[in-house]
Amino acid sequence: MMNIEELHYLLLKYGLFEPEEWNDITPTLHKMEELNMWEIVEKEFNHLKEEWEGPDLPIFIFPIKYAHLPFNEGLPHKNGVAFKEALFLFLSPHVVSEEIKALLAHEYNHACRLSFLNVEAEDLYLKDSLVMEGLGECAVQELYGKKWLAPWTRIYTYGEARNIWEKQFVPILNTKGNDKHQILLYGKGNAQLPKWIGYNIGFQIIDSFIKRKECFNSRDMLTMSSEKLIAGSNFPYK
């Protein structure tokens, strides 16, 4: 269990505004309120909770770091992090309602997965983390269409992803440790792995599972084991 300082540090990593931005937070919040961001999240959360028979949990919405600055393609405008007990969303006034819904669906899908499997994020194996990211983004595709998928879903071909999967991921699929997983998911900072490769592999695993099996939806897959989902995909490992 994290203490308050550890949680604050983690949330800063995911996009929580910095303390020195306090003077700009009030006008940013007013803009977010005018765009009905809290109402959008509440309505969509109630829909997803019913659709997936998921847990009822609190959702905390904060301005993302530098949300007060003019629109800039180089700055992140949304991010989130999910725990079994709560969701945290970081938004700027520049995101449209569809982006908010897609982010919420991705993160709430994580929370549902953790709840249904009755595990904490730090107890996941690497294979579980890959599958969880794939499930989250395939849920976005199912609900809102390909237009709202994250860019990392399409940056590598199947051949590129499969080659790295076999050489770099298969030997360590049973590795535990969120810090290790993050390096492998993001790829950044690891000279042997391209950026976002773990996220992309996770998406391709679940996307190929759906295409091969044809009849599975997000709700069905939430309670399936990672081993079964990987075995039914185009990414064998045994």
For all residues of the chain together, what is the average pLDDT? 93
In this predicted structure, the answer to whether residue 215 has a pLDDT above a threshold of 80 is: no
pLDDT given at position 31: 96
In this predicted structure, the answer to whether residue 1 has a pLDDT above a threshold of 90 is: no
pLDDT given at position 72: 76
Q: For residue range 91-104, list pLDDT tens digits in order.
A: 999 999 999 999 99
Q: For residue range 45-72, list pLDDT tens digits in order.
A: 999 999 999 999 999 999 999 998 887 7
pLDDT given at position 189: 63
Point out the least confidently predicted range of 59-68, 122-131, 142-151, 172-181.
172-181
In this predicted structure, the answer to whether residue 191 has a pLDDT above a threshold of 70 is: no
Reported confidence tier of residue 178, pLDDT bands at 50, 70, 90: confident
Q: Which of 225, 126, 115, 98 has the alpha carbon at shortest distance from 182?
A: 126
Distance CA 32, CA 94 (A): 9
What is the DSSP code string of 138-171?
Answer: HHHHHHH-GGGS-GGGGSS-HHHHHHHIIIIIGG
pLDDT given at position 214: 76
Contact 110/132 with Cβ under 8 angstroms?
yes
Point out the least confidently predicted range of 9-13, 133-137, 203-207.
9-13
pLDDT given at position 112: 97
In this predicted structure, the answer to whether residue 75 has a pLDDT above a threshold of 70 is: yes
In this predicted structure, the answer to whether residue 80 has a pLDDT above a threshold of 70 is: yes
CA-CA-CA-CA dihedral for 173, 177, 182, 185, to nearest 10 = 10
Reported confidence tier of residue 135, pLDDT bands at 50, 70, 90: very high
- Higher local confidence (pLDDT), 214 or 220: 220
Q: What is the pTM of this model?
A: 0.94
Kindly state the percentage of the chain with pLDDT values over 70.
97
Distance CA 234, CA 32 (A): 42
